[in-house]
């Protein structure tokens, strides 16, 4: 199994949804590791996608992008961040 992060490959993201889908991400899997969102730092919408900058419970920042037409998520680790391996 390849656990290397692939930011351009669709990724699973769990989110809270109310009257629309993808109102607030609450967790996701990146490089085979589960992350819980502690805080949404920023969010904005572009014509074809919603974007979020999130801080995880392990204090790592990610950019999450939801493509509205395809219903796919993209996850990018923010520059300079290093996620800890499980068990550290």
Is residue 15's pLDDT more than 70? yes
pLDDT digits (tens, 9 = 90+) for 22-46: 788 999 999 889 999 999 999 999 9
User: In the structure encoding, which two tokens stand for residue 86, read together?
Assistant: 């499980």
Region 17-22: mean pLDDT is 74
Between 83 and 53, the higher pLDDT residue: 53
- pLDDT value of residue 81: 59
- pLDDT value of residue 4: 54
- pLDDT value of residue 12: 80
pLDDT digits (tens, 9 = 90+) for 48-66: 999 999 999 999 999 999 9
**Tokens 């392990």 sit on residue:** 58
Q: Please check whether residue 33 is in contact with residue 86, taking contact to mean a CB–CB distance below 8 angstroms.
A: yes
Instruction: Give CA–CA dist 65/47, Å, rounded.
Output: 12
**For the whole model, what pTM was predicted?**
0.77
Between 79 and 13, the higher pLDDT residue: 13
Residue ranges of domains in the chain: 13-77
């Amino acid at each position: 199994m390849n656990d290397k992060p692939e930011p351009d490959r669709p990724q699973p993201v769990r989110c809270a949804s109310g009257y629309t889908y993808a109102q607030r991400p609450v967790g996701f899997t990146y490089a085979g590791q589960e992350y819980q969102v502690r805080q949404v730092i920023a969010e904005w919408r572009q014509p074809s996608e919603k974007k979020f900058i999130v801080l995880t419970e392990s204090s790592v920042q990610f950019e999450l992008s939801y493509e509205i037409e395809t219903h796919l998520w993209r996850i990018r680790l923010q520059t300079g961040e290093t996620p800890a391996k499980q068990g550290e």
